Structure 1
Amino acid sequence: MTRSHWTFLFVPEGEGGVRTLNISKRLTQVLAVLCGLLVIGTLAVTVSFLRQQHALSNLEARDQEILTLRSTISELEDAVSNHEMIMARNRELHKQANLLAGLGPLQQTDMADMDAPGQGGQEPFPGELSNVDPTSRERILGLRVQLDRLLREANWQRHGFEKVLQTLSADQELRDNTPSVRPISGGYLSSRYGRRPDPFTGQPTLHRGLDFAAPVGTPVVAPAAGRVKRASRRGSLGLLIEVDHGNGLVTRYGHLDSFAVARGDWVTRGQVIGRVGNTGRSTGPHLHYEVVSNGRSQNPWLYIISD
């Protein structure tokens, strides 16, 4: 005989009647299915929750990695900026060293190879940036370009300094005879080398030197050793001194008030050769200073390393 229901008897301790509870077999099956579904649902919710927690943990770790990476990139960018400033100072030292070595001023063409972008080669950080966020990737690639330029400039400067050292070791006389200091102490630069309006006519004209405004009588010194080629009056430049430094270099000092040397004298760097004046075609007391190399006018500022 097939059981159609379940009977539960509840017998209390002490007095009281026995109670019965009849549950049909069908209801029992339904309750069993519901309990199973409840267990399965609980497991599914638990698994989903654990997966979300794991994904959230990974996302937080990823965000922290990005923050750490960006902080590191910022530190590297600061370091690169500092090294660029150091390179700029080294470039000025290179200029000074070239002049002291008698190699002449640095030319823009000297740095053409250094500034030229690299050609070909392996892709920067191949495959290593695929998982990096776009902002950080661009900053890293920018750093790569800056570092590449710094390395090329460092190599260029090393070769340049090696050439300077070789020249310095070989020719002391050349160093002594190359103009490298300002010809006047004090005063101020009142007119630069190049085209400018003529102070008397206002017409554009080429100014072939530097003008240093200073009081009459201010000492004028030789910027390098050499032989006095001229110490006399010469037209619009008034009282003029010319010093021949050899190797095709000549310096000129115009509008002087007086001479401290004569033609044929040998002068050394820093020696007083005359005094600032207002002679010739001049609007006020100043020194007109020129540098001529092999008959061609040069910008004297390129031969001053103390400023």
Structure 2
Amino acid sequence: MNKYSPKKFIFQAESDRQVRQWHFSFSQIMAAMGFASVLIGAILFFSAELFTQWIYQNRLKEIQTEYSSIFSTLNFLQEEVINLDSQLGEIEERDKAVRSYADFPPIDQDVRELGIGGILIEKTPEIDNMLPKVKTRLTDLELDIDQISRRVRLELASYEDIYDKVKKDTEKLKHIPSIRPIIGGYLNSGFGWRPDPLDGKRRFHYGLDITVSSGAPILSPADGVVQEARIRGGYGKYVKINHSYGYKTSFLHMSQLNVKKGQMVKRGDILGKSGSTGRTSGPHLHYEVKYYGTPLDPLDYFFTGNIK
């Protein structure tokens, strides 16, 4: 029976002088290969670990830089929100003053704080995946912006209301008698009780008598439509204007009529010329102002110019 003879590996190196041989058993070769495999594996493992740590550290630095930038941006935006809130507060105070000046009712404080409308911010996975601290700051910022947006919308609506009212009031002002109806002359007789200049009887005088020479231009005190332009008994040649909004004015004893019934006139337009037609003691203009049929003192409607 043959005995087992372990295999051997011979490595031979030749040179000019001599031949060298190394003898390794199979088990030695396997052990060496195993050691080499372990060594290579360890090198690869530690290399991969070092590479992973290097990537992690670099990514961590990038993330820290990104979040530092995010926080800087959030801080800047928060400061901007604070500035906007302060400026909006000033606008709201001016709005209160303007509404008061325009005789407009104030906005309820609860409504002013709540505002109207708002903005819809879509939630995305990126927001949900943010760090809690960043997410909280961002949520607070969104709420602040939404609140300011509501208040701005309310202010815009308020100013639109005020603008509409002022526009209407401006249009109304064009139709309210406000200027002296004749240039020159002097006040001869005012509004109220007085002795009649022709018969001496005490009568109520429903207008003003402005003494002026014949031919002086008579002006429309406001925008309106000529309701009458004719000769009427003791009035002589006279004009009545309907200014709308309840106001009507009359001009008596004229020597000439420059307008016709139904004609539209503007403040300052010439209606005719002064004279002494009708029941009168001399050249003058009798001027009346009525509001929804009630006689008013015309002096209260001389907003420009004075009568001596």
Give the shorter-chain TM-score range.
Answer: 0.3 to 0.5
Higher Cα radius of gyration: 2
